[in-house]
Structure 1
Amino acid sequence: MQDVQNRMDGRGIAIQRVGIKDAHLPFLIKTKEGGFQQVLARICFTVALPEKYKGTHMSRFLEILMPWSQKPLAEPEMESMLEEALCRLDAHSAEVSLSFKYFVDKKAPASGRRSVLDLDCCFTGRKEKGQPMQFQLGVDVPFTSLCPCSKEISAYGAHNQRSVARVQLRFRPETECIYIEDLAALVEAQGSAPIYPLLKREDEKFVTEAAYANPKFVEDILRDIVLELRQLKGLAWFSLECENYESIHNHNAYAAHEESLV
């Protein structure tokens, strides 16, 4: 049968990224404890297409993904996946992004009841032929924030809300990336109080009072996270967004920051 994709194209336009998007497959994500967690990943997988070719071979992306979806996955496996794409699709660059829910263990602060908190996460790998992979970790971490101004001016109480920090990190090639569990703990510690899926009455009292004793604006939270991220060994770049889902306004409070580290 004729290979139409391999026909010559005379328009002189190289396409930077072409492939598949919104594919869904189960993946096994390596955990800090040395095991793995099964997740459902939403995938975008692309390569660069030279100007001389009419199209890429879409079926090969899934052919590459299927075996890797059955093995515990972290940075080395993603780099091997991209190396396979460069070879099989005769490309000079490739990129794959896996978005998924990851669950971390939480222990209620007073009762000790255990539960799991879901985090929106993303692994992104970018690789050029002959170069090391550039890996990017993304994690959205929820927490509680309590308004310092509300506490200061009110006779009693202060408004609080659920908040989220969206963090994207890239490390230098010779440095191992931080585990999802450790990044989530680092970020949530900068809010007014952590969030727990399961709380008994004694826990609710504990976290309410903990937040009241630790009021922070969205600017405070962002700056405190930035200071912590700067301490991570081998970090090359980060992007950070903090958003408070305000309880007394019909809009959110928002702050963002991006930094490259030498």
Structure 2
Amino acid sequence: MTEEKYDLTTRVGRFKHFGSVDPIEGTKPTQKEDMKDLQQTKKDFLFAIDHVGINQVKYPVIIDHMQSVGNFSLSTSLTRDEKGINMSRLIESLELHYHNGIELSFESLSSLTESIRTKMKQNSAQVEVKSTWFYDKASPVTQLTGRAHAQIGYTINKDENNEDRKFYMQSDVTTLCPCSKEISEYSAHNQRGTVTVSLDLYDHKDIPKNHKEIVLEIMEANASSQLYPILKRTDEKKVTERAYENPRFVEDILRLIAYDLVELDWVKGFTLICENKESIHQHDAYSQLTYNKE
């Protein structure tokens, strides 16, 4: 079989040399108005669907006037008599709310969710987004300021009559073992702990503009000590001594955080998790607490 020769000085020739072929003469429509829309097929498809959409959508967001990157999940409900949704409209809705990024606030995300619900002509819609929040934090003694960060997330679920709002934060803290301090002649083992707070919020209560700062302060104040981007020697002395003065099990941290959260009138319920990267074990310590005021 004779190998066909191509002009390798052209891109087309090189492509064909590597196996590319010419397009075929198709028979299906090329104009949108002539194409069949399978998603709009109407008949009994057995079940309604709670959520259908797209996730892992990386998109610019604005947090306190600073740009970051959000990871979005966008979805709607789907009635029993519809085959599917037009998913491109989800990104179209996202683009309509773009102003150098999507502002991560309950007001902005509520507007986006309602826009998706109405554009998709569905009973309900949900927007979920997680991102990194950067904020200024000063060291405890020298007051040297650096950029600290925490993971935050918002979830809005809307139908015609109701709106369900959730807020998520995950941040690291210092924990010092009470048992180690109790049994040792000197010192006590400590480690970095990760605290995760997932809040269910009342839809009829005003949520403070500084809700991120409120939740972060509760998380950090109830740990043995805090983490800082910059520490000089006098700061390090303060931080390590504070940890020694405030020993905490993972169980202690969750119970103390829970007490403070119960007192927030805009919080309906919560799930708390604390995980310690143990410094004297190969395993981690873990605790979880769920509470609902209603």
Asked if Structure 1 and Structure 2 have the same fold, meaning a TM-score greater than 0.5 normalized by the shorter chain, the answer is yes
Give the whole-Å Cα distance in 2 for the aligned partners of 1:37 and 1:9. Answer: 47
Q: CA RMSD in A?
A: 1.3
Aligned pair partner of 1:129 in 160, 168, 172: 160
**1:51-89, Cα deviation, whole Å (9 max, x unpaired):** 211110111000111232325341122111111111111
Matched, 1:245 2:277: yes
**Which moved further from structure 2: 62-71 or 48-57?**
62-71
Give the whole-Å Cα distance in 2 for the aligned partners of 1:9 and 1:242. Answer: 48
**3-state SS of the aligned residue for 2:67?**
strand
Contact 2:45 / 2:83 at 8 angstroms: preserved in 1?
no
Give the whole-Å Cα distance in 2 for the aligned partners of 1:9 and 1:251. Answer: 53
Structure number with higher relative contact order (C-alpha < 8 Å, ≥ 6 residues apart): 1
User: TM-score with structure 2 length normalisation?
Assistant: 0.84
Which amino acid in structure 1 is aligned with residue 52 of structure 2? V
Name the structure 1 match of 2:91.
62
Task: Tell me by how many angstroms 1:125 deviates.
Answer: 0.4
Task: Tell me by how many angstroms 1:112 deviates.
Answer: 1.1
Instruction: Report the structure, 1 or 2, having the larger strand content.
Output: 1
Task: Tell me by how many angstroms 1:237 deviates.
Answer: 1.2
Give the whole-Å Cα distance in 1 for the aligned partners of 2:104 and 2:182. Answer: 48
Give the whole-Å Cα distance in 2 for the aligned partners of 1:203 and 1:166. Answer: 26
- 1:70-219 pair list within 5 angstroms: 70=99, 72-131=103-162, 133-178=163-208, 179-219=211-251
Contact 1:24 / 1:40 at 8 angstroms: preserved in 2?
yes
**3-state SS of the aligned residue for 1:170?**
strand
Name the structure 2 match of 1:12.
46
Name the structure 1 match of 2:6.
none
**1:181-234, Cα deviation, whole Å (9 max, x unpaired):** 221011110000011121112211111111011111111111100111111113
**1:68-120, Cα deviation, whole Å (9 max, x unpaired):** 23253411221111111111111111111011000122100112110121111
Task: Tell me by how many angstroms 1:9 deviates.
Answer: 4.3
Greater radius of gyration (CA): 2
**3-state SS of the aligned residue for 2:141?**
coil
Give the whole-Å Cα distance in 1 for the aligned partners of 2:169 and 2:104. Answer: 17
Task: Tell me by how many angstroms 1:3 deviates.
Answer: 2.0
**3-state SS of the aligned residue for 1:38?**
strand
Contact 2:60 / 2:68 at 8 angstroms: preserved in 1?
yes
Q: Aligned residue pairs: how many?
A: 256
**Which moved further from structure 2: 178-187 or 220-229?**
178-187
Give the whole-Å Cα distance in 2 for the aligned partners of 1:95 and 1:229. Answer: 25
Contact 1:218 / 1:255 at 8 angstroms: preserved in 2?
yes
**3-state SS of the aligned residue for 1:255?**
strand
Give the whole-Å Cα distance in 1 for the aligned partners of 2:175 and 2:130. Answer: 26
Give the whole-Å Cα distance in 1 for the aligned partners of 2:95 and 2:213. Answer: 26
Which amino acid in structure 2 is aligned with residue 38 of structure 1? Q
Name the structure 2 match of 1:25.
59
Which consecutive unaligned segments of at least 5 residues does structure 1 have? Answer: none
Name the structure 1 match of 2:256.
224
**3-state SS of the aligned residue for 1:186?**
helix
